[in-house]
Chain A
Amino acid sequence: MSERSTQELQEIAKKIRKNILAATTEAGSGHPSSSLSGVEVATMLYFGGVLRHDPKRPEWPDRDRFILSKGHAAPLLYSVLAEAGYFSTDDLLTLRKFGSPLEGHPNMRRLPGVEASTGSLGQGLSIGIGHALAAKVDGKDYRVFVMQGDGETQEGQVWEAKMFAGNQQLDNLTLIIDRNRYQQTGKVVEIEDLDPLADKLTSFKWEVTEIDGHEMDQVSKAFDWARGVSGKPQAILASTKKGRGVSFLEKEGNYHGKPVPKEELEKAFKEIEAGLS
């Protein structure tokens, strides 16, 4: 599906990772580890030919939609949008600063390419369903992609949405659950286990696939698979690591809501460049 090779996509992913760290460290706050876990998925969407979009026309009615439901991963969304050309990559360093449209969490009224204002967890899938229903009713062929956190999946609204999407047979809707196994205060399995997650979704009339969310080829195949499903919404359960690409973030496991200290930034960049993890 992609015109870019896996290696080219991996190079873009490295750039995205570095921009996530640069922006959050400059801001002095934010959620780099939550952003890093979704890099391959977001890279594939925007640069692997999955998402039909045009940075010059962010309001194009026939565009595919990507909704970042886990809004605290805003640096991930901003980094891919900037790299794709929605705005300048220089703007990334204004993250969270007064006057910047790159607010701490995505604001659809201030930044082109942001499809939904998020930051209160659990709401993006329902909004995605609204877009998907509108496509059906208008006879349009655009698709809707939603990325949700695994902790976020504990929200009740998420399950109301899943039941509805299944019953509506919304095959133009793809949900990616970023299963990095951690939430704010600890491990998902210890706080409120989701498993058996695939079985739950299947019983809600979804098609499900489970992948390694850092393996570019698996991510690519999963999106191809999703496109081929008819009559049902699709869920991609992406096993990921919070802080992926930076050893000292990965090692801590969660590293939730903290930027990388300025002194560590170069080291982190080197690790990302070398592709260590």
Chain B
Amino acid sequence: MSSRQMGPPTRDAFGERLAELGKSNDRIVVVDGDVADSTRTKEFFNQFPNRAWNVGIAESNLVGVGAGLAAAGKTPVIASFACFLLCNAYDQIRMGIAFPGLNAKLVGSHGGISPGEDGPSQMAVEDVALACALGGFTVIVPADSESTKALTKAMIEHDGPVYMRTGRPDAPAIYDTEPDVTLGRAITVREGKDLTIIANGLMVAEAMDAAEELAASGTEARVLDMHTVKPIDEDAISKAALETGRIVVAEEHFAHGALGAAVAMVAGRRGAVPMAFVNVGDSYSTSGQPDELFKDAGITTADIVAAAKSLL
């Protein structure tokens, strides 16, 4: 894992900010499926018991109930583990929320392979691709706790369906204080002219470490925190292609259909831009400590450095 200073998990920051927002915005309601202690909606449950429902272990019903609350004018936050939320209730998301374009917020915890010892059945390595495939959805993958707070607020303020992925373990700090965020606008967390590393989630920290290593051998890497996968920041990608000529995309997700695909679709329009992709590939992980699993999957700082060097 990254050598950077650790901050709280992104799920903690989400839960904390959600409860704060609940004070000033009484349209916010929460539905959770027997995992409020894991998703961290628990604080909202404690503070606003009349605006929060635990539907039990029943994700299809969870999403359907959330869809109804949205249609009735509420701003529902629908929470479970990312894998169960997206994979178990996909058609309910499609028909209940995406198709009518309702203002519902899906928040999936335990994103990626960093849930660690719990093993592959509890990990989400398909969630971002699934969410991106839904018509009209905005898809967010925050990098650390400070940006999660800002993105949680932006998610609630945004009018329309959103999926946000949060993570289980402590997240290395990228931002000292809450950054200004705009959905669909990448944050340049490091400037560079030789290549650009585009990352989100925990991979932003790995990308920052990789950029430092590359700098030691004279390569200046730009690092973009692409917290919004959809709509993707086309300007930032175009600029990266034009100004740095090479792009590495790093994400804690399967290879297909998520950040890598979204970036490639834009970069491809620019003509030939050499690209490399660092991700979980196409096979399920296993149980172990997150750093062991990152190494096994090939998504560490060293893997990003190697990918960058392959383009130079």
Contact residues of A with B, CB < 8 Å? 27-30, 71, 96-100, 102-105, 107, 110, 117-122, 151-152, 154-156, 183-185, 191-192
Contact = CB atoms under 8 A, between A and B. Distances in A.
Given A99-B286, A120-B83, A120-B84, 6 more contacts: A96-B119, A96-B287, A107-B119, A120-B88, A184-B37, A192-B57
A122 B33 CA distance: 13
The contact size tier of chain B is 20 to 34
Contacts of A122: 57, 88
B114 interface: no
A98 B122 contact: no
B262 interface: no
A69 B57 CA distance: 13
Interface string B31-43: 0001111100000
B61 A98 contact: no
B121 A191 contact: no
Contacts of A105: 118-122
Nearest to B55: A192
Interface in B14-31: none
B182 to A, nearest CB: 35
For the complex of A and B, the 5 pairs showing the least CB-CB separation, nearest first, are A119-B121, A98-B288, A192-B56, A104-B119, A154-B56
Contacts of B83: 120
B117 interface: yes
A172 B125 CA distance: 36
A105 to B, nearest CB: 4
A97 B120 CA distance: 13
Contact of B58 (A103, A154, A185): A154
A11 B186 CA distance: 61
A151 B117 CA distance: 23
A273 to B, nearest CB: 28
Contacts of B37: 184-185
B293 interface: yes
Q: Which applies to chain B's interface (DSSP): helix, strand, loop or mixed?
A: helix
Contacts of A100: 287
Q: Which applies to chain A's interface (DSSP): helix, strand, loop or mixed?
A: loop
B288 A99 contact: yes
A119 B119 contact: yes
B36 A185 contact: yes
B210 to A, nearest CB: 23
Contact of A98 (B57, B60, B286): B286
14 contacts: A29-B118, A97-B288, A98-B286, A98-B288, A98-B289, A104-B122, A105-B118, A105-B120, A105-B122, A119-B120, A120-B88, A154-B57, A185-B35, A185-B36
B170 interface: no
A98 B287 CA distance: 6
A104 B286 CA distance: 9
A185 B57 CA distance: 10
A35 B38 CA distance: 20
A191 B54 CA distance: 7
B34 A151 contact: yes
Contacts of B54: 185, 191-192
Contact of B293 (A29, A98, A155): A98
B292 interface: yes
B183 to A, nearest CB: 30
A192 B61 CA distance: 12
Nearest to A150: B57
Contacts of B61: 156
A223 to B, nearest CB: 27
Nearest to A121: B57
Contact of B117 (A96, A99, A183): A96
Given A96-B287, A98-B289, A120 B57 contact: no
Nearest to B92: A156
A118 to B, nearest CB: 7
A133 B54 CA distance: 35
A156 B34 CA distance: 14
A100 to B, nearest CB: 7
Contacts of A184: 34-35, 37-38, 57
